[in-house]
Amino acid sequence: MSNFISGLLRFRRGPWEMLASILIALGVVMLMQPFAITLYSWSFLITLIGTVMFIIVSHFPE
């Protein structure tokens, strides 16, 4: 866990890509759930943030 946090603080690609992927997956899950309209309302924004974050992070150093 400390390697993950130190990777985030040093702007390394691996941990940031994982965080962006988690946001994308979370947005998709929020989009498909049938219970809470609030989660559904925020799902597009979360997915969009994760996608833009992934595009930016793909330019970080290994």
Whether the per-residue pLDDT at 59 is higher than 90: the answer is no
pLDDT tens track for 21-55: 999 999 999 999 999 999 999 999 999 999 999 99
**What are 5's two structure tokens?**
């946090």
Q: How far is CA 49 from CA 6, 52, 58, 59, in A?
A: 22, 5, 14, 16
The CB density around residue 23, as the number of other CB atoms within 10 Å, is 19
Give the CA count within 13 Å in the CB-facing half-sphere of 23.
Answer: 19
5/58 Cα distance (integer angstroms): 18
Claim: this prediction has a pTM higher than 0.85 = no
